[in-house]
Amino acid sequence: MTSLNPQEAKLTPHGGHRRRLLAPKDRAGRRAAVRAALAPLLQARRPAFTDEDVRLLEWAYDVAERMHRGQLRKSGAPYITHPLAVAMILAGMGLDTTTLVAALLHDTVEDTPYTLGELRADFGEEVAVLVDGVTKLDGERWGDRREAETFRKIVLAAAADLRVLVIKLADRLHNLRTLGFQPPHKRARYATASLELLVPFAERLGIHVLKREMDDLAFAHRDPDAHAATAAAMARALAGAEQVFGPATERLRRSLAGHGLSARVSVRPRHLYAVHQDFGERVVGLRPCEAARVLVVVDGDEQDCYIALGAVHAALRPCPGRVRDYIALPKFNMYQALHTRVIGPEGDPLEVIIQSRAMHPVAEYGIVAHIRDAGTATADAVSGRRDLVWLSRLLAWQSDALSADFLDGLRTDLAGDSMPVFTPRGEIVLLPASATALDFAYALGSETGNHSIGALINGRLAPLSAELRSGYVVEILTDPEGCPSADWLQIAATAPARVHIQRWLAHRQAEEVSAQGRRRLVQALADRQVDLLAAEAHGESLAIARDLGYAEVDQMYAALASGSLSLEELVTRFAGA
């Protein structure tokens, strides 16, 4: 479908396409209209776009506009305004042309007759993979499982190409921006789902420029009264920010210069949802020092950041025990910085964040910054990164989880911050704040988890239920005879641990049911002078099972125990074998 290529394509009403040259006048008018619509997008990345990039984007927009023609948003705006806005968000983050093309086309396969096969033929495999990754599953086919299975599909697609998640996040951000056109009950539900699933993905990928806005928009729609109260409190607090931060930042600038450092010092307001999470109803009395932080961006390397920390402490009295070193030990989402709390000239406690100029883009854009630097957006560009181990863990357990369990597990796995816990060899395992020693055991592997019997935490014996803290050194004690129990489900806090425990318990239950059915058959065959053990050894049991439609004899025995298979019928078959 090459409507802006030398041979123009004209869509039929059924979504197919046939090659036909447009009249020169029509072709020129169409091209002018497309370029006018794309002008803001092209301007956003103008220095980076080649002529070929421009042609490809114009072509993608032309196809998307034609396919969505006649469709309207809830606001009454033409539907094409949505994919164009998504592409604009991604262009603002500096993403590549392929991603922008996929963004323009991301709803065509889901909402128009345009097929994935047509898209692949027209735009290539790379664009098709991205569009397919963000396309929702068919609601009629999947029913109540649609949401869970769609998220599972996105996770699997992101394992091959992380841009799938980035496009999905930009898509959700624009939908949140326009959520006011939906009825109130839908707004609240959509906002809650965003805060539980999509916002945590943005956090995990370190894309804070998206996370902050998604946070605040979802907050506004889920709890408009609390949002309004927080916004008003923030406005009052920031009105007095200059009195609190002005003298402090001036001291910092002088101290940094005195230490031979070139740095940019600024005051950054916190976003509303973060303030609400910290203060709740107490937000009415919010102080300026609680509404903003001081950001120091150093022109230098990591070592210069530590020198800057000394300069900050030389200028303003530090609070003991309030230094956090995320340079030596980055967060799970690649974030690096030094955090410290100091006392300002007026006695106010101030939060100061120190980053190098190289760290700052990663702190804002996360994985997107690494994708841009690597020149490729596939997961291979960041494979093996410790800070993306959460994605590997998610892939390790998702295939074994049922739809409902998958969504619940996903919410748990993504919720909150992660803490580093160490093995005795110094290897880092990232776990959520509520994790136990049992969660740590399963993070090391399912076999370690299944056979764990206890732990040594910082050298002291502890039960598997012991809750861990950041920086703990944990050694898991195992026993070949050890095995999970149902009580472990009350101990495990992480989805991987719970899924592995549930799978083991289900397997054990299946074995017990099979054994029960086998005992019934042994007893019944004994009356007929038939030796079941001999029948099993000669393959007769498996042959009978296969003849009855069971892949394994254990399944046949379990069916006998459950009553779905007649004992008389089975005995007759064995007696006649």
**Which residues are known catalytic residues?**
110-111
Please choose, from the candidates 302, 294, 289, the residue with its C-alpha nearest in 3D space to the C-alpha of residue 255.
294
Alpha helices in 240-301 (DSSP H): 241-258, 272-279, 288-291
Give me the phi and psi of 354, to 5 degrees please. Answer: -120, 125
User: Where are any strands of DSSP class E within 319-473?
Assistant: 324-325, 338-343, 349-356, 418-422, 428-432, 452-457, 460-462
Torsion of CA 33, 37, 40, 46, to 10 degrees: -50
SS3 332: coil
Q: Is the dihedral of CA 205, 207, 212, 214 positive or negative?
A: negative
Tokens read off for 132: 């397919």
117 vs 124, 223, 258, CA distance in Å?
Answer: 10, 43, 63
What's the CA gap between 100 and 280, in Å, rounded? 39
Cβ neighbours of residue 110 closer than 8 Å, sequence gap 6 or more = 135, 136
Tokens read off for 386: 């410790």
- Which letter does DSSP use for residue 280 in this model? G
Q: Do residues 280 and 312 lie in contact, with contact meaning Cβ atoms separated by under 8 Å?
A: no
What's the CA gap between 152 and 130, in Å, rounded? 15
What's the CA gap between 230 and 450, in Å, rounded? 47
What's the CA gap between 469 and 417, in Å, rounded? 12
Task: Give the full edge-to-edge strand order of the sheet including 474-478.
Answer: 460-462, 452-457, 474-478
Torsion of CA 203, 205, 209, 210, to 10 degrees: -70
Please choose, from the candidates 197, 193, 200, 198, the residue with its C-alpha nearest in 3D space to the C-alpha of residue 221.
193
SS3 265: strand
Cβ neighbours of residue 55 closer than 8 Å, sequence gap 6 or more = 4, 5
What's the CA gap between 378 and 382, in Å, rounded? 8
- Which letter does DSSP use for residue 424 in this model? T
Angle in degrees, 0-180, between the axes of helices 51-68 and 97-105, rounded to the nearest 10:
10
